[in-house]
Amino acid sequence: MRVSKEEVIAILAQFNPWWRGETIPDLPAWHRGAFRELYLWLAKPPAPRAVLLSGARQIGKTTLMLQAIEKLLQSGVPAANILYATFDHPVLKLAGIEAVIEAWREREPRVEGVEYLLLDEAQFIRDWGTWVKHQVDFRKYRRVAFTGSAMPLVAADQESGVGRWHTIRLTTLSFYEYVQIKQLRLPELPGVTSLRELFDWTDPDFYRTSELAGVYAGHFHEYLIRGGFPQTAQIESISQAQRLLREDIIDKVLKRDMTALFGVRNVLDLEHTFLYLCMHDGGLLDMTDLCSNLEVKRPTAQNYIGLLESTHLIYRLPPFGYGKDVLRGKFKIYLADAAIAPAVMLKGKTILEDAAALGVATETAVFKHLFARYYPQNVRFSYWRGKKDREVDLVAEVNGEIIPFEVKYRAQHTGPDELKGLMELCDQKQIGRGYVVTKSMNDFGVMKIRGKNSDEKGQATAIMRVPAALLCYWLGAIEISAVI
């Protein structure tokens, strides 16, 4: 189907107000943590590559690109050399990328210097992989940033993608970002550049911070049920925020994207699979139970789970170990945001009155914060299970060091009796430090534990008890280069 050039130009003019000397409307002044990395790859790229902004729907990918455009304009880049287009628009999708570029250049003749192409929903560009390859290899005067679902993009053309783009994977808002976007006026907390620094704190440091942080707990609970999606985070009504979140996930991702991108035919079975995972957030994935309950075949269920992961709705965490240990073990499933399950299951605020559900939501939030902060450093995350079904929720492996995280979100203070799995792992692997994520702001400080294999003179493991609200706040604020 042919689309007239005049129609394409008219649509592009709406998306690119800077061509008319106008500012970008309704653009927040506050930037997400990933903004710096995106702008670096556009302004002074470390390597000749395009940039892929990958992440779930409604987490701010478009806003990040528009903010980058705003800063490029402020730095002196000619307005005519910047193109923004979204291929979610039916006319642009039909016209194709080359027709869009041709219309751009007819509307805005090129000015000397670098050209910047920022393209939304690039998975709808025909033969996009070949196109990006040609841009990177033969259009050195162009810099390209694009958004989309990573799996269909990467899987569609593996060869074209090798060395052709740098991926910035976005998660939902961190608790720190949530506080910023809500413009909450809270007591200023001590700065932390690494969680490791906490082991050098004194008892008065822990006490003073606990006193300051008391007000953060209530906002953290609201964050768990409201969610880390920028749009819903700012809606006054929690029930309305959850309804919109449910509609975005069920209607737009499961029913529209899965059909358009992956050709899913039985959307109802896919939706039931996702609902099952929402009911088992943070738990081990029992494929036999899932297939039996939903009456779907194992290959079908496995395919659905892979698709849900590819659209950034879930994470799969393997068991600790390598080789046969991983192949024989079950995966642990986390939703992309702690608020998804309450929203999809229509639970409202009830999880705040359910200690078990609140603990699961907190564990999901902790994992997301750890993943978001440290995945660029190739940190391997897993969970550990030992004798008598003792378990450690999260294990990070970085630079040859094993660092365990255990979530104990309960009213009581955490002692060694509640940490038998953690003690067993630390004793078995001779681990020097670990973290226990707690609920109370007073359950904060260092404790020493010794395993069965340690004598009185042997080195004990230092365990940092840190409240979840503080951990998530600091992880959101820590620079990307920091260490765990």
pLDDT tier at 484, thresholds 50, 70, 90 = low
The dihedral sign for the CA sequence 280, 313, 361, 484: positive
Q: Are strands 433-438 and 401-407 parallel, antiparallel or unpaired?
A: parallel
Please tell me the predicted confidence (pLDDT) of residue 377: 78
Distance CA 372, CA 420 (A): 28
**Residue 299: what pLDDT?**
94
Q: In this structure, are 185 and 122 located in the same domain? A: no
Q: What is the pLDDT of residues 47-80, one digit of tens each?
A: 999 999 988 888 999 999 999 999 999 999 999 9
Q: Rounded mean pLDDT of 450-469?
A: 76
**Confidence label for 347 from pLDDT (cuts 50, 70 and 90):** confident
Q: Which of 93-102, 294-303, 430-439, 457-466 shows the lowest per-residue confidence on average (mean pLDDT)?
A: 457-466
Average pLDDT over residues 107-118: 96
Residues 106, 51: contact at Cβ < 8 Å? no
pLDDT for 389 equals 81
Report the alpha-carbon distance of residue 479 to residue 372 in Å, rounded: 11
**Residue 152's pLDDT band (boundaries 50, 70, 90)?**
low
Beta bridge partners of 118: 84, 145
Residues 318 and 341 in one domain: yes
> What is the pLDDT, as a whole number, of residue 231?
86
Does any domain span residue 482?
A: no
pLDDT band at 326 (very low <50, low <70, confident <90, very high): low
| 162 band by pLDDT with thresholds 50, 70 and 90 | low
Which pLDDT band holds residue 457 (cuts at 50, 70, 90)?
Answer: low
Same-domain check for residues 146 and 214: no
Same domain? 124 vs 216: no
Which pLDDT value is given to residue 328? Answer: 66
Instruction: Return the higher-pLDDT residue of 295 and 157.
Output: 295
Amino acid sitting at position 421? G
Indicate which CATH number applies to the domain containing 142. Answer: 3.40.50.300
Domain boundary among 111, 146, 170: 170
Residue 48 falls within a domain, yes or no? yes
Q: Which residue has the tokens 């841009």?
A: 135
Residues 287 and 367 grouped into a single domain:
yes
Q: What is the pLDDT of residue 77?
A: 97
Question: In terms of domains, do 238 and 327 share one?
Answer: yes
Among 103, 136, 170, which residue terminates a domain? 170
- Tell me the mean pLDDT in the region 35-43: 94
pLDDT at 294: 93
Does residue 325 fall inside a structural domain?
yes
Examine the pLDDT at 435 and tell me if it is beyond 90.
yes
Confidence check: pLDDT of 156 > 70: no
Mean pLDDT of 202-206: 96
Higher pLDDT, 311 or 154: 311
Same domain, 141 and 185: no
Check pLDDT > 70 for residue 376.
yes
Beta bridge partners of 448: 462
Rounded-to-integer distance, Cα 200 and Cα 214, Å: 22
Work out the burial of residue 25: count CB atoms within 10 Å of its CB; fewer than 13 is exposed, 13-18 middle, 19 or more buried: exposed
- In angstroms, the CA 186 to CA 287 distance is 44
- pLDDT interval class at 346 (50, 70, 90): confident
Position 383 in a domain: yes
pLDDT exceeds 60 at position 247: yes
SS (H, E, C) the chain: CCCCHHHHHHHHHHHCHHHHCCCCCCCCCCCCCCHHHHHHHHHCCCCCCEEEEECCCCCCHHHHHHHHHHHHHHCCCCHHHEEEEECCCHHHHHHCHHHHHHHHHHHCCCCCCCEEEEEECHHHCCCHHHHHHHHHHHCCCEEEEEEECHHHHHHHCHHHHCCCEEEEECCCCCHHHHHHHCCCCCCCCCCCCCHHHHHHCCHHHHHHHHHHHCCHHHHHHHHHHHCCCHHHHCCCCHHHHHHHHHHHHHHHHHHHHHHHHHCCCCHHHHHHHHHHHHHCCCCECCHHHHHHHHCCCHHHHHHHHHHHHHCCCEEEECECCCCHHHHHCCCEEEECCCCHHHHHCCCCCHHHHCHHHHHHHHHHHHHHHHHHHHHHHCCEEEEEECHHHCEEEEEEEECCEEEEEEECCCCCCCCHHHCHHHHHHHHHHCCCEEEEEECCCCCCEEEEECCCCCCCCCCCEEEEEEEHHHHHHHHHHCCCCCCC
Percent above pLDDT 90 for the chain: 62
Token pair in block for residue 340: 């998804």
Is the pLDDT assigned to residue 161 strictly greater than 70?
no
- Mean pLDDT score, 254-262: 81
Among all chains, which residue has been given the structure tokens 């806003």?
63
What is the C-alpha radius of gyration for the chain, rounded to an integer number of angstroms? 24
Distance CA 242, CA 367 (A): 21
Domain membership of residue 47 (yes or no) is: yes
* pLDDT of amino acid 386: 85
Please check whether residues 165 and 185 belong to one and the same domain: no
Residues 403/328, Cβ–Cβ less than 8 Å: no
Cα–Cα distance, 420 to 426 (Å, whole number): 10
Q: Is the pTM of this model over 0.85?
A: yes
For residue 398, pLDDT beyond 80: yes
Q: Are 166 and 180 found together in one domain?
A: no
> Which domain covers residue 427, as residue numbers?
176-477
State whether 158 and 293 are in the same domain. Answer: no
Task: Tell me whether residue 163 is in a domain.
Answer: yes
Same domain, 150 and 194: no
Domains held by the chain: number: 2
Q: Are residues 196 and 75 in the same domain?
A: no
Note whether residue 292 is domain-resident.
yes
Give 217's pLDDT tier (boundaries 50, 70, 90).
Answer: very high
**Dihedral of CA 439/443/447/449: which sign?**
negative
For the ranges 247-261, 420-434, 443-457, the maximum mean pLDDT occurs at 420-434
